[in-house]
Amino acid sequence: MPGSTSVSRAVNLSSVPARLGRGQGRSGDPAGSYLVLSQITHEGLPEGIAAQLHAIIRMYDDDVSKHVLRSKAEFGALFGDFALLEPGVTWTASWHPEDSGPDTPVIDFADPSESVMLAGVGHKP
């Protein structure tokens, strides 16, 4: 599309430098860019799911790579100067489920926190 900019970047959140959490490090992204992030969290989970998650994280830490769990506030800080689109930082199961396509598999959670993953989309003004 003429006159448009598309910026896409995959980010491994388990190794994101702390400076990004302080809103630094993305000054080169052009205005109009979008930043889409998701992150597993330990905060606000049902007790049984939290225990399972911690067991999986320990397994990864021992065999694959260290994983960083972030709170909702820590995760939200990663967006820096990007303005969060509604509904902001929320559980992936709550992030616009009405926008799912007709062929999208439905994954039903009794509570959105059972998804254990936060998501957000930011827009750089």
pLDDT digits (tens, 9 = 90+) for 66-109: 778 889 999 999 998 899 999 999 998 888 777 777 888 878 88
Q: Based on DSSP, count helices (H) and strands (E) in the chain, helices before strands.
A: 3, 4
Q: Is the pLDDT of residue 25 over 60?
A: no
Between 18-22, 42-46, 66-70, the lowest mean confidence (pLDDT) is in 18-22
β-pairing verdict for 34-40 and 90-91:
unpaired
Mean pLDDT of the chain: 79
With a threshold of 0.75, does the pTM exceed it? no
Residue that wins the pLDDT comparison between 29 and 79:
79
- pLDDT, residue 105, reads 81
- CB 76 within 8 Å of CB 34: no
- What is the structure's pLDDT at 47? 86
Q: What is the average per-residue pLDDT within 46-73?
A: 84
Q: Which residue has the higher pLDDT, 3 or 101?
A: 101
Cα dihedral sign for 123, 28, 38, 103? positive
Annotate 52-77 with b (16+ C-beta within 10 A) or e (fewer): ebeeebeeeeeeeeeeebbebebbbb
Q: Are 112 and 83 in contact (CB under 8 A)?
A: no
